[in-house]
Structure 1
Amino acid sequence: MPTTVSVIIAAKDSADTIVKAIQSALVQPEVIQLIVVDDGSRDATAEVARAACDGSGRVEVISLDRNYGPAHARNRALEVCRGQLAAILDADDFLLPGRFTRLLPHNDWDMIADNIAFVPTGYEGALNAVGVDDARPLSLEAFVLGNLTRDDRHRGELGFLKPVIRLAFLKAHNLSYNEGLRLGEDYDLYARMLAAGARFKTTRTLGYGAVVRPNSLSGQHRTEDLRRLADADHDLLALPLSAPERHAIHQHEIQTRNRYRHRHYLDLKRDKGAAATLKALLADPASWAPVVKGVLRDKLSPPPAPSASGDVRYLFPLPEA
């Protein structure tokens, strides 16, 4: 059973949040290394990260000359991992105590992920390792379908999972993050690992805290990022896949590309005006339906109800008391 973990934090302008993230990782006894990749920050992220070390010498900081995106930053960290396992931690998130102690003893996995608590900025409440320690296999088809938006529910969120990854599997299959992606880079890597035969398990035990921030980098993306993610799905379809896997990925590609088409024509209207947009749209019949549906959805859907400041939401529902 692998027992040593390298925690990876890709950080940009995170001086105000990274200390809590680092401290939450250093208290985990399995962590032998914490790698912070300062991805072109304009603040004191690197200096704050170095100062947050607990004296154990486990914190290593790599400073990049400009912002390359999280995929590139994480790949830089993967190159210097000394642990048997890698765990991704976002710079404004935190790990619950005992996270790896609970996860690592499970058998037969190349990736294993636990439940996530989405907490509001400034949340001061206590989170406990509640839930059910019921590690279950997650297939490629189920993972991809768990990232789709459906009419009866919000966007699927399995791409938010933060698994512990067996580094030997990445090396054996020559896998790393797709540096052309700034959106969905986690989804893409997990999908390619699953396509290569990785065993992915999830458990409903709570182990990761994700801070929901209105200005979070993960919540901001360019229109071009959607096109690149759809293209990554198209590349996935070239792999040897079962018919259900292929169908699920094709659905994800269509949904992502339609989101791109909608955003593309909104950008065109902003930059070129309504007449130029209508002319371009008439020459692009494949975009008619997604653009019309997107516009109607924007105009007719009620705004999301604001949540209470102390609300906590979970990726996997907690068992009823």
Structure 2
Amino acid sequence: MGVSEPFSVLMSVYAGDDPAFFAAAVASVTVDQTLPPSELVLVVDGPVPEGIATVLRRIEAGEATGPVPVRLVALPRNGGLARALEAGLAACSHSIVARADADDLSLPQRFAVQLPMIASGYDLVGSALVEFAEEDGPDGMVRALPCDASDIAAMARFRDPFNHPTVVYRREAVEVAGGYEHLNKMEDYWLFARMIAHGARVANTDQVLVRYRVGAGAYRRRGGADMLRSELRLQWRMWRSGFTTTTQFARNIAVRGLYRFVPLRLRALMYRRMVRPSASMR
């Protein structure tokens, strides 16, 4: 098995995405890559407005992805990210699958860095990312995560140890863990926790390989009643499955639950504290 093993890129787009951001994201994982994928699997999660439809027509015509073939999976109604990704995984032709979001930018060397790591025996590989607001503006905070498997497993008991838009994984390892399950805004964390619990070989690279787009409402969206309900469901599932202890469950409810309702400025400070690599909590 070598670096040349074929791989798919899996992306989902829906009505709320920005057409220009979507087009740039597609280019970043296809024509801009030094190691292009073997295919792009693009899930259209329900009806989309004309702006997105125009970009999709360009993609179908081969104008946006160069020689990279595209497989479109159109869902009749919007069902959320987890259901879209499950449909997309089923359509992927290859065992190795790289995730990408419809508004972020993968750096040109991303797959050239991550595919050799997968080829060396890992089942799940992520990377650091850098936040940005404007494409021609300055970059913001770097979100780096532990690279060692034991540190990743320790962090997973408190917070997501992977940046979802950066991961590359073996589809078989995802399937063994049960695949994506619907859990608003937290389906990736729940999947990665189950993959670790099922023995997946995991790693991160500390290289920044993705530029993660953040808007003015980024911290606001991390709070509120809906996010608290998702948080409680996630923590219950992790405790019930045995992934976290009773003590860890209580701590997570107290700390992460509080985070969903504190004032916006304090939430931003707490977020910046939690995303530091040193925030690995056992």
Relative to the length of structure 2, the TM-score reads 0.75
In structure 1, the residue matched to 2:206 is 204
Say which of 60, 78, 81 aligns to 2:71: 60
- CA drift of 1:159 comes to 4.9
Aligned to 1:274: none
User: Of 148, 151, 156, which aligns to 1:136?
Assistant: 148
Cα pair 2:123 2:173 within 8 Å, conserved: yes
The yes-or-no answer on 1:73 pairing with 2:76 is: no
1:116 and 2:116 matched: no
Cα distance in structure 2, aligned partners of 1:94 and 1:101: 15
CA change 1:136–1:18 in 2 (3 A) is same
For 2:139 and 2:243, the matched residues in 1 are separated by 43
Deviation by residue 1:124-148 (Cα, 9 ceiling, x = unmatched)? 5699xx9x9x953243222333x2x
Tell me the distance in 2 between the aligned counterparts of 1:215 and 1:46. 26
Task: Please give the residue correspondences for 1:1-321 in structure 2 after superposition, counting only pairs within 5 Å.
Answer: 1=1, 3-12=5-14, 13-14=16-17, 15-27=19-31, 28=33, 29-44=35-50, 45-52=52-59, 53-56=64-67, 58-106=69-117, 107-123=120-136, 135-137=147-149, 138-145=151-158, 147=159, 158-161=161-164, 162-171=166-175, 173-179=176-182, 181-214=183-216, 219=221, 223-241=225-243, 247-258=247-258, 262=261, 294=262, 298=263
| Identity of matched residues, % | 22
| CA distance in 2: counterparts of 1:198 and 1:185, whole angstroms | 17
Structure 2 letter corresponding to 1:114: S
Q: 1:159, 1:184 within 8 Å by CA — same for their partners in 2?
A: no
Q: Structure 1: any 5+ residue segments left out of the alignment?
A: 148-156, 263-293, 306-313
Q: Is the 8 A contact 1:234 1:253 kept in 2?
A: no
Secondary structure, counterpart of 1:204 in structure 2: strand
How far the C-alpha of 1:188 sits from its partner, in A, is: 1.1
Q: Note the C-alpha offset of 1:183.
A: 1.5
Distance 2:267 2:66 in 1: 48
TM-superposed deviation, 1:25: 0.8
> Following TM superposition, by how much is the alpha carbon of 1:218 offset from its aligned partner in structure 2, in angstroms?
10
Q: Find the aligned partners of 1:109 and 1:303 in 2 and give their Cα distance.
A: 34
Residues 19-74 of structure 1 show CA distances to partners (whole Å, capped at 9, x for unaligned) of 11111111333511112212224413244134134353612222222221111111
Q: Structure 2: how far apart are the matches of 1:49 and 1:212? A: 23
Please give the alpha-carbon distance, in whole angstroms, between the structure 1 residues aligned to 2:237 and 2:268.
34
**Secondary structure in structure 1 of the residue aligned to 2:185:** coil
Q: Specify the code of the residue in structure 1 equivalent to 2:155.
A: A
In the aligned structure 1, how far is the partner of 2:214 from the partner of 2:56?
A: 21
Q: How many residues align?
A: 255
Aligned to 1:270: none
> Cα RMSD over matched residues?
3.5
How far apart are the structure 2 equivalents of 1:218 and 1:40?
A: 26
Hey, what's the Cα distance between the residues in 2 that align with 1:303 and 1:241?
26
The separation in 2 between residues aligned to 1:231 and 1:254, in whole angstroms, is: 14
Gaps spanning 5+ residues in structure 2: where? 270-274
